[in-house]
C-alpha cells in the first residue's frame, strides 16, 4: 500500500467512525435526552430501549465488531498462514477501527443507562479503548520493519544517514553555508523537569524551533526551493531517528507494561459480555430472529 493509499485508508476508517457516531446521536437525540423516568412514555421507547429492535441491533452489531476486531488481530499474530494477507500494521489499524466503532454502537445500545455487572463490562470497555489509544502512540514510537517486526537498537542506528557527508558531497557547499546549516540543525538540548510524556512534548517543541532555524538559514543562504526542501527533510529525518534511538528502550519497556494493563481489562470486558449475551438469550430476547 502506497503512502497516499494508506492515508486514504486511515482517513476513510476515521470518517466512518465519525459519521456513524454523529448519525446515531442525531437519530436518537430526542430519546436519549429524555430523562430516565419519562423515557417509558417516549414514542420511540419500544425501539430505542436496549431490548428494542433498534437498541438491541446496535448491541449485536457492536459486539460482533469487537469480537471480529479482537480475535482477527490475535489470529493474524498467531497463525503463519495469515502472514501473507497484508501487513500487521494494517491489521492493527483495522483492529483499532473495529474496536472503536463497536464500543460506540454499544454505548448507544445501552441508551446511556448502565448498572450492575454490565457497568463493569462497560467501564472495562472504556478502559480498553483509552489504553488502546495510548498503546497505539507507544507502538508507532518503536521502529519496525515493513512486516511489523521491532527493530533492534543496532538496526535503528544503521538507518542513520550522515548529514555532514551528504551536505559536503551532494551540495559542495561553501564552508560558511555548511557551518550555518550544521549550527542551525543542532538541537539545543535542555534539561526538563517533569514526567516522561511532558518531556516528549517539550522535545517536540524544541525540534520545531530547530527546524524553523534550519529553514531560515536555508532561505538566508539563497538555496533553491527544491534543495531547501530536501535538506530540511534530511534534517527532520535525522532528528526523528535520534529521538527514536534515545527513547527506544523506554518505549519497549512501556509497551510491555501496557500489555499488563490492556489485556486484563479486555478479558474482563469479553467475559462479562459473554455472560450478558447468554443471559439475554436465556430470557428470550432474540432480536429479529
Taking only the tens place, the pLDDT of each residue in 198-210 is: 777 777 788 788 7
* 43 shares a domain with 100: yes
HSE toward the beta carbon, residue 62, CA cutoff 13 A = 27
User: Which tens digits make up the pLDDT trace of 89-123?
Assistant: 788 889 889 988 988 998 898 888 876 666 777 77
* Higher pLDDT among residues 209 and 166, named by residue: 209
Task: Write down the pLDDT at residue 161.
Answer: 55
Our count of domains for the chain comes to 2
Task: Write down the pLDDT at residue 101.
Answer: 92
How far, in Å, are 2, 126, 137, 138, 213 from residue 10 at the CA level? Answer: 12, 22, 15, 18, 32
* Higher pLDDT among residues 111 and 189, named by residue: 111
Which of 155, 151, 154, 157 minimizes the C-alpha distance to 251?
A: 151
- Binned at pLDDT 50, 70 and 90, residue 127 comes out as confident
Q: List 150's β-bridge partners, or say none.
A: 144
Domain that holds residue 181: 153-247
Identify the weakest region by mean pLDDT among 12-21, 64-73, 79-88.
Answer: 79-88
* 24 shares a domain with 47: yes
Contact by Cβ (8 Å): 265, 124: yes
* 188 shares a domain with 67: no
* 89 shares a domain with 129: yes
* 144 shares a domain with 10: yes
Does residue 193 carry a pLDDT above 70?
A: no
- Binned at pLDDT 50, 70 and 90, residue 18 comes out as very high
Is residue 143 situated within a structural domain?
yes
Q: Per DSSP, which regions of 69-178 are E strands?
A: none
The answer for 87, left when phi > 0, alpha when psi is -120 to 50, beta otherwise, is beta
**Alpha-carbon gap, residue 126 to 160, rounded angstroms:** 39
Is residue 54 situated within a structural domain?
yes
Contact by Cβ (8 Å): 82, 76: yes
For the beta carbon of residue 156, count every other beta carbon within 10 angstroms.
17
- Asked whether the whole model's pTM tops 0.75, one would answer no
**Alpha-carbon gap, residue 161 to 80, rounded angstroms:** 34
Amino acid at each position: 500500500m502506497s503512502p497516499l493509499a494508506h492515508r486514504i485508508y486511515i482517513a476513510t476508517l476515521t470518517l466512518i467512525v465519525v459519521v456513524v457516531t454523529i448519525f446515531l446521536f442525531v437519530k436518537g437525540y430526542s430519546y436519549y435526552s429524555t430523562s430516565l423516568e419519562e423515557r417509558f412514555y417516549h414514542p420511540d421507547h419500544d425501539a430505542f430501549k436496549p431490548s428494542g429492535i433498534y437498541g438491541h441491533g446496535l448491541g449485536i452489531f457492536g459486539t460482533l465488531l469487537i469480537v471480529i476486531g479482537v480475535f482477527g488481530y490475535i489470529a493474524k499474530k498467531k497463525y503463519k498462514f495469515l502472514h501473507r494477507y497484508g501487513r500487521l500494521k494494517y491489521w492493527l489499524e483495522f483492529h483499532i477501527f473495529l474496536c472503536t466503532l463497536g464500543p460506540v454502537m454499544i454505548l448507544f445500545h445501552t441508551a446511556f443507562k448502565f448498572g450492575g455487572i454490565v457497568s463493569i463490562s462497560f467501564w472495562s470497555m472504556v478502559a480498553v479503548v483509552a489504553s488502546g489509544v495510548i498503546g497505539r502512540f507507544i507502538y508507532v514510537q518503536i521502529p519496525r520493519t515493513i512486516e511489523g517486526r521491532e527493530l533492534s537498537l543496532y538496526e535503528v542506528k544503521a538507518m542513520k544517514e550522515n548529514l555532514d557527508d551528504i551536505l559536503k558531497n551532494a551540495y559542495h557547499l561553501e564552508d560558511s553555508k555548511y557551518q550555518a546549516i550544521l549550527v542551525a540543525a543542532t538541537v539545543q538540548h535542555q534539561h526538563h523537569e517533569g514526567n516522561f510524556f511532558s518531556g516528549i512534548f517539550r522535545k517536540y517543541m524544541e525540534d520545531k524551533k530547530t527546524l524553523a532555524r534550519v529553514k531560515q538559514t536555508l532561505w538566508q543562504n539563497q538555496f533553491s526551493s527544491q534543495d531547501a526542501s530536501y535538506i530540511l527533510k534530511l534534517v527532520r529525518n535525522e532528528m526523528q531517528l535520534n529521538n527514536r534511538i534515545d527513547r527506544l528502550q523506554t518505549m519497549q519497556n512501556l509497551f510491555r507494561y501496557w500489555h499488563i494493563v490492556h489485556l486484563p481489562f479486555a478479558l474482563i470486558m469479553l467475559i462479562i459480555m459473554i455472560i450478558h449475551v447468554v443471559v439475554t438469550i436465556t430470557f428470550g430476547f432474540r432480536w429479529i430472529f
